[in-house]
Amino acid sequence: MLARAVAGESNVPFLSISGSEFVEMFVGVGASRVRDLFTNAKKIAPAIIFIDEIDAIGKKRWPGTGGWHDEREQTLNQILTEMDGFDNDTNVIVIGATNRSDVLDKALLRPGRFDRKITVNLPNQADREKILEVHARGKKIEKEVDFKALASSTVGFSGADLGNVLNEAAIISARYNEKMINPARLQQAFERIVMGLQKKSLVMNEDERRTTAYHEVGHALLGKLCKHSDPVHKVSITPRGGALGVTWFMPEKDAILTSKAKFLDELCVLYGGRASEEIFFGKDMITTGASNDIERATAIARNMVMRYGMYDEIGQENFAGERGMGNYTGTEGERPYVSESTQKSIDNKVREILREQYERAIKFIKDNKKLHIKISEDLLEKEEMDRAEFEAYFS
């Protein structure tokens, strides 16, 4: 939208292409598409070229394997060649957009290429309300629809996500032959965008359903017991978009800073799933369902130690480098020098933090076994629980 607005303000043509379009192309097609795009732009210059999702082609390069890498490489090289070919008379401006500026190939960011960066922060509540109003233009919407309420429950949504909610609501309304979007359809659309499309076809067996229910209730229960955790918005064991279950937390207000206490509670909540599996089904019956939780927990703990300087014994020093999540997957930028002994204390500290929070999760769950069973068995039956239904167990 910003790129389009720039073109509008400058009164020049706007040519756009999305990086993800190249993902499924045959080798060579992407590069020739880029060539055509730049040729056209130069012909009608002054003009603005907009490349959306530039990270899809501009990721850091790896020693090549397979067709897709070759294709991406060729496309990326073509963009770089075109941009380097600009001279002072070329009245073409290239704008790229990405949610992952941390993974971009450094070659893209050199002077003369994408050398200026504008960070567009996520909209706050007031912004979200206005953005929803913009996307609502041209759509028929019932008076009862409350954008203010929707704005307050869409913390963390980008402008595009908000646009998707309204588009989805329009599609659902059309399917029901309704002439106007009503609040119920908007709510449906909202949930669909947030959790991915319901995949009823993904059938779980009874054991998996039970494990998933206890796992998710573990997250929810700890979310309730840890006082720095965001409140539970919904618990579900309806499979959606690849996940068997989901516990969804909703921050009560927009927050930018995160405290150490909040991180620790987050770790505890993340381990609530695995801890429940262990307690209710036994150490040998723990499942792969916790892998994403463990991945996230590890990244948080590493960041606390290596990036945020939250542990005096390690120090207020950056050990992770300037980019990425410090998650050791090798995708982050250059890492500062870390001596072997420091590395060892970092590793030990991270392990200690994670172990402490796992044990805390175990204790919380042991202390609340009865309630846990009650909620889990209810969830097995209902499949979904909203905030009010969940809170009712604690009143």
Q: Could you list the residues that contact Zn ion (CB under 5 A)? A: 273, 293
CB of 211 to Zn ion, least distance (A): 11
Give SS3 for 304. helix
Q: Which residue's CB is nearer to Zn ion, number 96 or number 218?
A: 218
CB of 173 or CB of 236, closer to Zn ion: 236
To the nearest whole angstrom, how small is the minimum distance from the Cβ of residue 235 to Zn ion? 11
For residue 42, the tally of other CB atoms under 10 A from its CB is: 18
Task: Please report how close the Cβ of residue 201 comes to Zn ion at its closest, in angstroms.
Answer: 22
| Smallest separation (angstroms) from Zn ion to the CB of 290 | 6
Beta bridge partners of 384: 236
Q: Which is nearer to Zn ion, 58 or 273 (CB)?
A: 273
**Residue with the CB atom nearest Zn ion in the bound state:** 273
Contact 273, 235 (CB under 8 A): no
Least distance to Zn ion from the beta carbon of 275, Å? 10
Q: What are the residue numbers of the active site?
A: 216
**C-beta closer to Zn ion: residue 230 or 293:** 293
Alpha-helical regions (H) of the chain: 2-10, 29-43, 55-58, 66-84, 125-136, 147-152, 159-175, 183-195, 206-225, 260-281, 291-306, 340-367, 369-382, 387-391
98 by Cβ neighbours in 10 Å (0-12 / 13-18 / 19+) ranks as: buried
Contact 217, 274 (CB under 8 A): no
Closest among 52, 64, 61 to 22, alpha carbons compared? 52
Question: Hey, how many other C-beta atoms are within 10 angstroms of the C-beta on 64?
Answer: 11
Strands 232-236 and 92-96: unpaired
Query: Which CB, 191 or 293, lies closer to Zn ion?
Result: 293
d(CA 174, CA 146): 20
